[in-house]
A and B are shown apart, each in its own frame.
Chain A
Amino acid sequence: MTLLPTTLQTPRSKLRLYWSMTKSLQTGLLLSTGLAGYISARCPVVHWTTLAGLTASLFLAIAGSTILNMWYDRDIDMKMTRTCSRPLASGQVTPSEALRLGLALAILGVGLAATMSPLYGLVVFAGLFFDVVVYTMWLKRRTCWSIIWGGVAGGMPILAGRALGVGSIDITGFLLSLSVLFWIPTHIMTFSMRNYDDYQAAGIPTFPSTYGFTLTRVALAISSLLAAITIGVAGMLIGMEWGYLRLLVVMSAGLLMLAVASVFRPSERVNFGLFKYASLYMLTSMLMLAMEAL
């Protein structure tokens, strides 16, 4: 890949770089949780203006916090094979440019959210704060337990969507948020096992480097089980029909089977399968929550 100095980039190539900094797949997955949280409230979902506002504000806030994380972690990204070609780490985007972009998107996102509903705005802001300040700036380089806070931040979009739908923070919203919190370790731990050397090179404490692979896999299996239980209970509280619950049970069984296989028959293939399946699991669960309410 030929790297152009930042002054020679066309607006189109600049936009492409900015887009890649938003981690569109991850942002899209978190956005889908927020939309599912909102739709699960069975509010009249044909309020297209509210739905559009929710989508825009969540996208801006999540993309903004992702870029701010990337800005703060640029020194780590340079040391890791997987991330060294990212726009900031490779020098295609300057740090001040990334900071400005991240702050602008985050302020726009939280601002829009706050104008739609103060409570919704507060939860979106909490997600941004937990993700950027608590997880990335404060804990990520100090302890492997930082993923708990990463999980709390990851659970905020669905809680925000639900809060916007029902007008308060209810037990269902709390459970939905908890399900994402329990799901996050499955995603992050499989990832940190897969990229173990990279994280070691960057000096980031991870569960595998602190407690070993075996204990990490056990933690991962327990976390998957808890995610499946909480999302199932939340589904029942929402009033999910039996058919969708059946499908949720099947998808959860697949997740648990892979998690258990990773404990008793560990291999790179099972680990990769669990990592990918976990993302698919979250996406399909959110789709089911949404379809059920529509």
Chain B
Amino acid sequence: MKFSILNRVLLLASSLLAAYQIAVGIDDLEAVPQVCYTIGFGVLLVSCLLLLILGYEVLDSQVVVVVATSIPLSISLGMVWEYLPAIRVPYLVFALAGFVAVLITRDFAAGRPATLVLVVVHGIAGLVIFILPVYLSLSGRVNPGFILVGIGGGLIGLGGLLLSFLKMGKPVLPHETILNLLPGLLLAMTAAFVAGFNLG
């Protein structure tokens, strides 16, 4: 299956938005959130470029699941570090342990344990990105625009789970539908993140 021209344009737009966010969108932050957001948007940028270069074939790699998890993990860690100082260290431990667990279970524990680890790690990170911006916006601690990050979080959770289950051979939607949705989902998610972080 090949990318349509529209899907190529969507991927290119996602790459440019992610590049913009890395270059100019996170300048005034502390070191740890800066590193976390750079990793999150960086993985997103390189993934979009590889999708553009190699096409859907790149999704055949086992690395996709790890990549799909590292984006929400790093972005959620950055947000927790910025807005929930009380749980910085526990969440850092969770993020690192979760990443290692996903990495290990890809190679050594296929099947139910791998699925469980993925759902827990991806689910928690996705929920943090979804709920935290909504809570912060509604409570007035940040500008209302920050709620867009939550929408991005919802989309990343959706995209990540769709991809992960597809990779595990248990697709929630038909294979072709997921692949056709992916570029649009990536752009919507990236745009929501970039707008949210800049308006928040």
Contact = CB atoms under 8 A, between A and B. Distances in A.
Contacts of B53: 272-273, 276-277, 280
Interface residues on B, range: 10 to 19
B16 to A, nearest CB: 11
Interface in A34-87: none
A247 B46 CA distance: 11
Contact of A250 (B24, B45, B54): B45
Contacts of B57: 269
Interface in B23-69: 23-24, 26-27, 34, 38, 41-42, 45-46, 49-50, 53-54, 57-58
A272 B55 CA distance: 12
Contacts of B102: none
A257 B46 contact: yes
Interface of A: 242-244, 246-247, 249-251, 253-254, 257, 269, 272-273, 276-277, 280, 284, 288
B22 A246 contact: yes
Interface string B101-127: 000000000000000000000000000
Nearest to A281: B49
A276 to B, nearest CB: 4
A272 B57 CA distance: 12
Contacts of A251: 45-46
B54 A272 contact: yes
Given A250-B38, A250-B42, A250-B45, A243 B22 contact: yes
A269 B49 CA distance: 14
Interface string B1-29: 00000000000000000010011101100
24 contacts: A242-B27, A243-B26, A244-B23, A246-B34, A246-B38, A247-B19, A247-B22, A250-B38, A250-B41, A250-B42, A250-B45, A251-B46, A253-B42, A253-B46, A254-B45, A269-B54, A269-B57, A273-B50, A273-B53, A273-B58, A276-B53, A280-B53, A284-B19, A288-B23
A184 B45 CA distance: 23
B22 A254 contact: no
A272 to B, nearest CB: 7
Contacts of B45: 250-251, 254
A246 B38 CA distance: 7
A64 B41 CA distance: 41
Contacts of B26: 243
A240 to B, nearest CB: 10
Contact of B24 (A243, A272, A277, A280): A243
